[in-house]
Amino acid sequence: MQILKFKPIYKERIWGGRELEKFGKKLPKEKSIGESWELSGVDGDVSVVSNGTLKGNNLSELVEVYMGDLVGEKNFEKFGEEFPLLIKLIDAQDYLSIQVHPDDALAAERHNSYGKTEMWYVVDCQEGASLYVGFNQKVDKAKYLEFLERGELEKLLRSYPVKKGDTFFIPAGAIHAIGKGILIAEIQQTSDITYRVYDFNRKDPNGNSRELHTEQALDAIDYSVRNDYNVTALAARNEVVRLVSCPYFETNTLEVDGAMIRDFAALDSFVIYVCIEGEVHLATTDSAETLKKGETALVPADVDEVAITGSGLLLESYIP
């Protein structure tokens, strides 16, 4: 199968902006775009191929036709025609809400869906930018509700100042919020379930507050104190550097300078590349594509080897 590229799906958000234009995105005029869904199998927002002989087909159609050749035999057996990962670029020009996502068990019980474990890679940020992940002290439901009702929930959260290249692993259940002035690449399970618990008392353009999910979030939150959310690892020239390894996905950085060969003969999964910097050329026995800053490509599972040339920084993700 050929290497696949897709049309971005843009999402207007109250906290969004126009920074994705610097990432090569042609945004709708006069709209605050907070997210570019680079690769999605979410119902109602399924990605459409933008290149090659399969141009115009959507991702769900391709999984139905090509099955394990596209996603891997074990992935097709487990997920069927649902593509298991969602890839986003996020432009946070204001704080996102403080929120949490349910795990697989709770999501299945309540929504007949998968949960949402995710990771963030900081593509760029303003000086002094920060984000929140987890609690900074011992918390139970009563204490959490007390601070929430006072409008002081952020006082309980661990704040992380960030810089380009910082990486965070956000398991389902971890309370979190992206701060303003941050551009993030997000790799996550295919799920669009979010429990919003605090939105900084802001209003939408019509003067309305956004819906909160206080009750739903209570049983979804992990109240423990953890210090393992920051998983930053420095990229290395022409080396594969592991950032995240979990049951849902593995993600590496590849700092390409010249040429690299990736051997996937033993991997029963598709591979996703997101170009963070520079420009590279991806080549297989069946196809070749150039990947520029801000672009995403899907390498089908039936590909055994990818030759990567050029100069650039890639995020590489697959299901182990």
Q: Which residue numbers are catalytic?
A: 196
236: Cβ contacts below 8 Å, ≥ 6 apart: 255
Q: How far apart are CA 98 and CA 199, in angstroms?
A: 6
- The sheet carrying 98-100 orders its strands as 157-161, 130-135, 176-178, 98-100, 195-198
Reported as type and span, the H/E element at residue 13 is strand 9-17
How far is the CA of 44 from the CAs of 58, 203, 292, in angstroms?
Answer: 11, 26, 27
Q: How far apart are CA 185 and CA 120, in angstroms?
A: 6
Spatial contact of 52 and 287, defined as CB atoms under 8 Å apart: yes
Q: Has 176 been labeled as part of a binding site?
A: yes
Q: Has 281 been labeled as part of a binding site?
A: no
61: Cβ contacts below 8 Å, ≥ 6 apart: none
Q: Has 118 been labeled as part of a binding site?
A: yes
Q: How far apart are CA 49 and CA 82, in angstroms?
A: 16
Annotated binding residues for Zn(2+): 101, 118, 176
Annotated binding residues: 101, 118, 176
